[in-house]
Chains A and B, each alone.
Chain A
Amino acid sequence: MTTAAWMEALLAAPLAGAVIALISGRRAAALVGVVTAFATAAASIALAFAVSRSGVLRYAVGGWGRPLGIDLYVDGLAAVMVAITGVVGACISVCAAGYFAPKPTHADLPSDKHDRAWLYWPLWLMLWGGMNALYLSADLFNIYVTQELIGLSGIGLIALAGGSAISAALRYLLLALAGSLLYIVGVELLYAGYATLDLQQLRDRIDANPSTFAAAALMTAGLLAKSALFPLHFWLPPAHGHAPVPVSAALSALVIKTGFYLVVRLWLHVLPGLAWAHLATLLGVLGAAAVFWGGVQALMQERLKMMVAYSTVAQVGYLFMLFPVASVPEALPGALLLAASHAAAKAALFMCAGSVLAVYGHDRIRSINGIGTRMPLTAVAFALSGISLIGLPPSGGFAGKWLLISAAFAAGAWWWAAIIVLGGLLSAVYLLRALAFAFLEPPIAGFGRAPWGMEATSLVLAFIAVGLNFAARPLSELLNAGAG
């Protein structure tokens, strides 16, 4: 099959799966969901291979072509993001099949929720379809619609947990709406100025006038709010900390990356014509602040899930340190490798927290004594994903930070490198603190049954996070997979 066929499949399969899951209801939704998940994951890997073989592709949906119609566009960057989403998404689906199965084992999912648990599948597949559509789109307004799809399905998914998750979901709704509003105002200004919504045509036509600057600023602000960059991160910990485990994993590992991806797309590919050195520095500084603020907050958390959620605030910070050094060729592969390994490691960590929650009935860090002996799989998964998040070799986190640090030195800006190293130390402190309680104390009595599906999936994801150590070269090749 050709690149175009894989793109069609990646758009249509999750959306079709979602509507079939919706119609088939409680009995068959999980089956439809898992089958769709594996098909979509296979297609996303196939797309990456197709792009690395035959280069970038533009695809005119409806046959009209830009500027009248909507174009899809896949290059190395989009293919990488789709592949991350595919692989991690499949793992999350496997975990969810166990988690949302009709048996009341989960402390954070009250039993009266079980008759609604199947709604997870249409919502999650819609979310996935929205992310694929976002990464593959070359049209600013179409990207707005995909963000709405992602935002609304995310809100429904968080609300599945019930109770205090509802207010977190509402807060997320308001934030997402505010972000979308800023973004769409920017899009309208650009359309008014250049009579096109196509990214490539905008790049060719852009000139530095007040309206363009205003549009760029508004869109960036909206996207930063959605990617939870400090100080716009306030909505993230309650939303990611209270959602059901597979939902936290999906939001933290995947959804956050859509905002980051759009900022990269916007500034590196659409608006490089604007002189944006000051903004790049500002993004880097905010990233550095996020690394420290998120790290310190993670250290102060009592609950494992909240700690993992605050760790996302910190990890988003590293990604944005790409911008001040973006002129160096290693920088983008470094940031993407970090994004990929964070996606795998963070999904794994949320599942570890979920397994602990299922076995212990709570996730208070001070009382999770003995998971090392009680739940060896989870403990290993926790340790391996921790290695990647800290950035110890060998792991994807290490390889990504290595590339970013080299880029910082190549750009003559050693201080970014220093912040990346210090941030790694900080994450070591909070992750090892939790792990210390797990290994040092003896086990106590009174446990629930370990959800083996979730444990096994977290281990697979943790191995992926570590294995990404060797992905730097293929990733760089894919990113350079020609303007051919």
Chain B
Amino acid sequence: MTADAAALDILLAVLLVFLVWRLLTLSDLFKATILFIVFGLLLSLAWVRLRAPDVALAEAAIGSGVTGALVLDALRRLGAHGAVDEARPLRLNLARLSGGLLVACLGAILLWSVLSLPAGWRGLSAEAMAAMPHSGVTNPVTASLLNFRSHDTLLEIAVLMLAVLGVWTLDAEPKPSAEPAGPILDLLVRILLPLMVVVAGYLLWAGGHAPGGAFQGAAVLAAGGILLHLARPFYLGNHVIIRLVIGFGFAVFLAIGVMLVVGGGRFLEFPSRHAGTLILVVEAAATISIALILLALFVGNVREGAGRDAP
């Protein structure tokens, strides 16, 4: 590692800790939210430095982008009163002190155990690389997510679905008063939206051989939807079409898994000749569903009726 790279790493580490400290202690929640988004972007840089570009993409798109938009939107709904947390800046009391000590102990234990691990660790990468020719794809991350550990990914898509169900169980909010979108936002939507659809499609396709895949593609697609919602507010509700699209990715994934059993194989055992096609089908279906799920989380549960805005 060159001295420049080392300096960059140290700078990143210091900045990350500083940002967390600032965003936890600021009383202006809007500033804290912006710092949170910056934190996510820097964290994705850290993933790049760790040579995990797939994780970096997901962190930037979902951890920083979609989550940041969600927090900003929540802040807007809190209104002027919610924008300042009066409990902040946090003063030291007994509970916080003991909490801090607990976290410090936890950190010390983690540091100690990480230092005691054997050096030059390879994990399962040798096994994974040996199995790659049968996985149907050439990107090891996609092979792990969609083939070696497809059972995990199936259940994770279910977890995303549950998040939307959770939003639907809450009381519907009254529609926020819609302000007309400015001409710049309108223009931005016109230019960006088609681009975002293309990028999402590219990420989905690229997942087979390069960093990318369903989650990253879906995040970009959802970001497009959010942008559109900001310019021309629309509400999703939970009509049958919406429910169908939200359940689609999971249903396709599960159905393929079960059909492979009916065909005499094991659950989710993709025959290596068709694995690439099956993975692409699963990822395409999942991209559509995850994008709508993320968008539905942002749009939220808005009470119907009170007159739709002009499109």
Contact = CB atoms under 8 A, between A and B. Distances in A.
Interface magnitude class on chain B: 35 or more
Interface stretch (A99-107, A143-151, A405-413, A434-442): A143-151
A134 to B, nearest CB: 10
B131 interface: yes
Contacts of A193: 117-118
A211 B110 CA distance: 8
Interface string A57-70: 00111111001111
A214 B109 contact: yes
Interface string B234-263: 000010100110110011001001100100
Given A25-B240, A211-B113, A146 B169 contact: no
A211 B152 contact: no
B267 A12 contact: yes
Nearest to A64: B148
A123 interface: yes
B244 to A, nearest CB: 5
A16 interface: yes
Nearest to B150: A62
A434 to B, nearest CB: 31
A205 to B, nearest CB: 12
A209 B165 contact: no
A36 to B, nearest CB: 13
A142 B152 contact: yes
Given A160-B169, A211-B114, A68 B124 contact: yes
Given A19-B247, A148-B159, A61 B166 contact: no
B159 A149 contact: yes
Contacts, number: 156
Contacts of A60: 266
A22 B247 contact: yes
A215 B106 CA distance: 11
Contacts of B169: 116, 119, 123, 156-157, 159-160
A418 interface: no
Interface in B212-245: 238, 240, 243-244
Nearest to B163: A152
B96 to A, nearest CB: 16
A155 interface: yes
B156 interface: yes
Interface in B3-40: none
Contacts of B270: 62
A196 B127 CA distance: 11
Given A23-B240, A159-B170, A214 B113 contact: yes
Given A122-B165, A149-B158, A193-B117, A69 B149 contact: yes
B174 interface: no
A418 B9 CA distance: 59
Contacts of B124: 67-68, 195-196
Of A19, A192, A214, most buried by chain B (CB within 10 Å of CB) is A19
B266 A141 contact: no
B91 interface: no
Contacts of B267: 8, 11-12, 59, 61-62
Nearest to A215: B113
Contacts of A12: 254, 257-258, 261, 267
A232 B161 CA distance: 29
B155 interface: yes
A153 interface: yes
A210 B116 contact: yes
Contact of A123 (B121, B128, B162, B244): B162
A22 B165 contact: yes
B186 interface: no
A67 B265 CA distance: 20
Contacts of B266: 4, 59-63
B151 interface: yes
A23 B243 contact: yes
Contacts of A67: 124, 127
A62 B269 contact: yes
13 contacts: A126-B165, A145-B152, A145-B156, A148-B156, A149-B159, A157-B169, A159-B169, A185-B110, A191-B123, A192-B114, A195-B121, A209-B116, A211-B113
Interface of B: 106, 109-110, 112-114, 116-118, 121-124, 127-128, 131, 147-152, 155-156, 158-159, 161-163, 165-166, 168-171, 238, 240, 243-244, 246-247, 250-251, 254, 257-258, 261, 265-270
A-B complex: 7 closest residue pairs judged by Cβ atoms? A211-B113, A63-B269, A156-B166, A214-B113, A152-B162, A159-B169, A62-B268
Given A8-B258, A62-B150, 15 more contacts: A8-B261, A15-B254, A61-B268, A62-B148, A62-B270, A68-B128, A116-B168, A123-B162, A142-B151, A145-B159, A152-B166, A156-B165, A185-B110, A189-B114, A211-B117
